[in-house]
């Protein structure tokens, strides 16, 4: 077979190979302790953690899925394309309080987009030592950005080859580059499949049990160094790793002498069939410090940065209640399942992120074997660059000089959902609820923050109206299942009603328990636990919250207490949301009453207006537009009052009335601006406003314009050339009573389009507003290419992107005007 033919048959690289290599490069580039990469999920609006370097996956499961609308740096960077630098814990708390509550440790972090050629794949992040300010880590950010650019280019190539570059699995956990000489008995080797060359260090030779100087030079020689049973498997894994598919966890191999070794493999590059790097570890007793820790009276065990136990002395095995042979080479959570407790997980997270030791107490399970007097252990964790050294002693006594033989025990596995629930969840939920203002937003926060914390799959929230419960939100229930419960009265014998009437939460470990307590009740599954929580705020009933689980489970007393407290937070947020909905309805009604129902018409001028409310906050603002008869001409007006809410809408109405009054008197544009400015200052609403006023003569097309701090208009000529109309302008209205507003003359030719707009149409977080104006200008240039396109169609095209945006922070106003061609002029004035 020729070389070219062999290359054609080689499989392409994989996202996994690119990600694992990029994670290691990112840590080196930004001097990080840990890091990873998020990729887009096939589910819209979700990012998934694809690779995690230097941290155990089980400890960071709460951050495995991230909604793009959540206030976290990863979501912001992906949405805006702008890197985020959080130099220290203070900066993190200031900008992202939910992240700071979830990881309350003193570290810094960097986030850069993985994007190329307009395609955004995800976000690359690094956690590192804290700095005094962002300026200290600018060089690291630039190096990290280059790594992200290289990763994006590689993913773009894979996508062009037809590979999916989304992620919908658990993250791949990889070890970071070692900070110094490999600890303990660890060896490294590499294999280049192109030349079939193996390069190994002396430690690898010793770990394979080879004679001094006898280093394996080929893959066959390497295979002969392990037990014949493992030789074929090792060869196959090396070939798969060369194709970009290394094993996700360390594998066990034995030497020809029977020694157990742990082997981790990864692709050394993103080549189609490239070199492979291997790390060999001896997990046996005495591998660290020649077994000196075996002589200590304390229990001592060591973990690598992925949570793998690389050493445990006899006393540690005794205190943990596990046979010593079952510890080395296994994940801590697999070997000692009862350590999967929130207290232990939280302190281990801290030790992995901050180089200070942590000390805490942890209680053994009550139904576990009694291997020492008392139920509590005192654990200390001492972080190192590559290993965590842990000590354990009974919390209620000093350990004796000698310990009995280790006791093998069957330790029951705790509930998986409880083991992943962080202690800080009430804090995170409380912070998230403060940002939710509508009932729907509150429900979405509960679904995104509360359900994952407890392993729930179903959620229903009912709100009380006139002594009946109505469904406000549901997720996960079979279609139509909840319909019969809509509008049930408070006299119905249902758990959702009873929990609200009594104020006591109801917990059912299985569907059978629920059916026994409420005979004849409709069930949505054959099995599964349910929790019914009363939503009561300040002693007033608000509604009920139902949590559903796929399988049976028990609720500990701690979980019942936390869920009850969280129900109180949800109730207060819902009560606030109901008040908001009332105020928002009032504001929307006020705003609609103040905006023009129709635009003034003229036989020679066609106009079209559009208004889009913001999708965040009060949902109403102070943007407005108007077309007013001004003598024998028309006045085109657009303005924007600072802020949102009822006050902004009311101020907008006052300004619109003032401008209309001045325009109807056919006052010059500068006098209109000056008079409106003085009126706003006299009203003293504590707000300012921008405005653009154009007085147009329909017969000649001559116009005179004045601007008060507003964005410049755009003018599209008949031939498609589109320019920014530079108006000198003055300061915004409501600031300086002596402000002057220069007037500029311009001409609107037949067929040309004049566009007035507010900043919501061109402003995006993290982007220069000039870029937004340039984009709008380009869209306007192409919007009139079709001669049959109406002005309303042009307005719809200019606002199409904004209409599709789910996170529009500001409201938008747009006003277009044109003088149609021909003697028969249009009389259309369109408003939306």
| DSSP state letters, 305-318 | TTSBEEEE-HHHHH
| pLDDT value of residue 421 | 41
Query: With b meaning 16 or more CB within 10 Å and e meaning fewer, what string describes 627-645?
Result: bbebeebbbbbbbbbbbbb
Within a 10 A sphere around the Cβ of 138, how many other Cβ atoms? 11
E-strand spans in 320-369? 358-363
Considering only CA atoms, which of 625, 624, 619 is closest in space to residue 588? 619
Indicate if the alpha-carbon torsion angle 660, 664, 665, 668 is positive or negative.
Answer: positive
How far is Cα 600 from Cα 827, in angstroms, rounded to an integer?
A: 10
Q: How far is CA 120 from the centre of its chain?
A: 14
The tokens of 280 are what?
Answer: 């060999």
Task: Please state the pTM of the whole predicted model.
Answer: 0.50
- Looking at residue 596, its pLDDT comes to 66
Query: What's residue 2's pLDDT?
Result: 33
Q: At what angle do helices 646-664 and 557-594 cross, to 10 degrees?
A: 10
Q: Is 178 helix (H, G, I), strand (E, B) or coil?
A: coil
CA triple 701-703-706, angle to 5 deg:
165
3-class SS at 338? helix
Q: How many other C-beta atoms are found inside a 10 Å radius of the C-beta of residue 75?
A: 20
pLDDT at 787: 55
534-536-541 Cα angle (round to 5): 95
pLDDT of residue 3: 36
Token pair 């939306």 in the structure block, residue: 832
Record the tokens describing residue 579, joined without a space.
């008040």
Question: 568 Cβ partners below 8 Å, 6+ apart?
Answer: 536, 537
**Beta bridge partner(s), residue 187:** 280
> Can you give the three-state secondary structure of 451-513, one letter per residue?
HHHHCCCEEEEEEEECCEEEEEEEECCCCCCCHHHCCEECCCCCHHHHHHHHCCCEEECCHHH
Quick one: pLDDT at residue 249? 62
Q: How many residues does the chain have?
A: 832
Can you name the residues that pair with 693 across neighbouring β-strands?
637, 706
Residues 6+ apart with CB under 8 A from 689: 622, 639, 640, 641, 642, 651, 652, 655, 680, 708, 732, 733, 734
Which two tokens mark 548?
């559903």
Cα–Cα–Cα angle for 70, 74, 78, rounded to 5 degrees: 95
Q: CB count, 10 Å around CB of 809?
A: 14
Q: Which tokens in the block code for residue 679?
A: 């009126």
Helices 425-434 + 557-594 axis angle, to 10: 10
Q: Which of 133, 71, 59, 37 is nearest to 353 (CA)?
A: 59
Q: How far apart are CA 367 and CA 375, in angstroms?
A: 11
Segments in 182-218 forming alpha helices (H): 202-207
Distance separating alpha carbons of residues 618 and 622, to the nearest angstrom: 11
Low-confidence residues in the chain, pLDDT < 70: 1-13, 101, 177-185, 248-250, 258, 268-271, 283-296, 366-374, 396-437, 453, 583-600, 614-621, 645-646, 765-766, 784-789, 804-809, 822-832
Residue 530, strand partner residues: 508, 548
- What is the DSSP code string of 16-61? HHHHHHHHHHHHHHHTEEEEEEEEE-SSTTEEEEEEEESS-GGGGG
């Amino acid at each position: 077979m020729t070389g070219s033919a062999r290359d054609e048959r080689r499989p392409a690289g994989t996202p996994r190979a690119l990600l694992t290599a990029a994670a290691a490069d990112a840590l080196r580039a930004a001097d990080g302790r840990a890091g990873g990469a998020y990729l887009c999920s096939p589910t819209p609006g979700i990012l998934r953690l694809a690779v995690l370097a230097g941290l155990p996956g089980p400890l960071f499961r709460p951050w495995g899925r991230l909604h793009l609308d959540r206030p976290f740096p990863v979501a912001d960077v992906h949405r805006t394309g702008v890197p985020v630098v959080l130099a220290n814990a203070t900066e993190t708390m200031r900008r992202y309080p939910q992240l700071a509550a979830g990881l309350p440790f003193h570290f810094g972090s960097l986030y850069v987009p993985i994007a190329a050629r307009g395609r955004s794949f995800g976000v690359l992040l690094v956690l590192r030592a804290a700095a005094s300010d962002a300026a200290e880590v600018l060089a690291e950010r630039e190096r990290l950005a280059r790594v992200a650019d290289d990763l994006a280019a590689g993913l773009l190539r894979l996508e062009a080859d037809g590979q999916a570059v989304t992620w919908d699995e658990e993250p791949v956990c990889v070890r970071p580059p070692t900070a110094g000489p490999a600890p303990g008995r660890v060896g490294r080797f590499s294999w280049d499949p192109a030349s079939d060359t193996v390069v190994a260090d002396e430690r690898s030779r010793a770990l394979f049990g080879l004679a001094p100087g006898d280093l394996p030079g080929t893959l066959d020689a390497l295979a002969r160094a392990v037990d014949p049973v493992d030789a074929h498997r090792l060869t196959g894994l090396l070939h798969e790793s060369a194709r970009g598919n290394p094993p996700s966890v360390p594998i066990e191999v034995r030497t020809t002498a029977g020694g157990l070794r742990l082997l981790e493999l990864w692709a050394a590059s993103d080549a189609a069939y490239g070199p492979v790097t291997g790390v060999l570890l001896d997990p046996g007793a005495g591998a660290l410090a020649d077994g000196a820790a075996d002589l200590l009276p304390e229990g001592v065990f060591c973990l690598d940065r992925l949570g793998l136990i690389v050493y445990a002395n006899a006393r540690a095995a005794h205190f943990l209640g596990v046979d010593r042979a079952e510890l080395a080479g296994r994940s801590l959570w697999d070997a000692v399942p009862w350590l999967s407790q929130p207290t232990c997980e939280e302190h281990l997270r801290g030790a992995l992120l901050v180089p200070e030791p942590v000390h805490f107490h942890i209680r053994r399970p009550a139904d576990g074997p009694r291997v020492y007097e008392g139920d509590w252990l005192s654990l200390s964790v001492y972080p190192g660059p590559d290993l965590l050294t842990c000590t354990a002693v009974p919390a209620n006594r000093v350990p004796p000089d000698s310990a009995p033989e280790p006791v093998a025990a069957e330790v029951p596995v705790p509930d998986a959902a409880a083991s992943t629930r962080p202690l800080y969840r009430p804090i995170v939920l409380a912070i998230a609820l403060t940002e939710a203002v509508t009932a729907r937003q509150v429900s979405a926060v509960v679904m995104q923050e509360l359900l994952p914390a407890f392993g729930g799959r179903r959620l229903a929230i009912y709100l009380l109206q006139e002594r009946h419960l109505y469904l406000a939100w549901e997720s996960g229930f079979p279609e139509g299942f909840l319909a019969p419960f809509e509008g049930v009265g408070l006299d119905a014998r249902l758990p959702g009603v009873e929990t609200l009437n009594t104020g006591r939460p109801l917990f059912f470990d299985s569907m059978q328990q629920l059916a026994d307590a409420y005979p004849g009740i409709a069930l949505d599954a054959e099995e599964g636990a349910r929790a019914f929580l009363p939503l009561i705020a300040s002693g007033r009933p608000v509604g009920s919250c139902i949590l559903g689980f796929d399988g049976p489970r028990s609720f500990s007393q701690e979980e019942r207490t936390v869920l009850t407290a969280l129900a109180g937070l949800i109730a207060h947020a819902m009560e606030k949301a109901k008040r908001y909905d009332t105020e928002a309805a009032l504001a929307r009604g006020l705003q609609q009453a103040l905006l023009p129902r129709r635009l003034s018409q003229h036989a020679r001028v066609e106009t079209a207006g559009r208004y889009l409310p913001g999708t965040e906050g009060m949902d109403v603002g102070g943007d407005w537009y108007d077309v007013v008869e001004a003598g024998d001409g028309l006045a085109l007006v657009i303005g924007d009052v600072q802020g949102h809410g009822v006050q902004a809408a009311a101020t907008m109405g006052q300004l619109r009335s003032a401008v209309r009054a001045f325009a109807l008197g056919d006052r010059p544009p500068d006098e209109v601006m000056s008079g409106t400015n003085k009126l706003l200052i006299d009203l003293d609403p504590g707000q300012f406003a921008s405005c653009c006023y154009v007085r147009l003569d329909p017969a000649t097309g001559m116009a005179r314009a004045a601007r008060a701090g507003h964005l410049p208009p755009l003018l599209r000529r008949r031939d498609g050339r589109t320019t920014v109309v530079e108006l000198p302008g003055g300061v915004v209205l409501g600031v300086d009573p002596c402000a002057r507003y220069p007037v500029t003359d311009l001409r609107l030719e037949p067929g040309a389009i004049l566009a007035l707009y507010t900043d919501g149409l061109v402003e995006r977080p993290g982007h220069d507003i000039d870029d937004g104006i340039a984009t709008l200008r380009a869209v306007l240039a192409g919007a009139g290419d079709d001669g049959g396109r109406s002005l309303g169609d042009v307005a719809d095209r200019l606002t199409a992107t904004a209409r599709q945006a789910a996170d529009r922070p500001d409201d938008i106003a747009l006003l277009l005007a044109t003088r149609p061609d021909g003697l028969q002029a249009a009389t259309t004035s369109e408003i939306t």
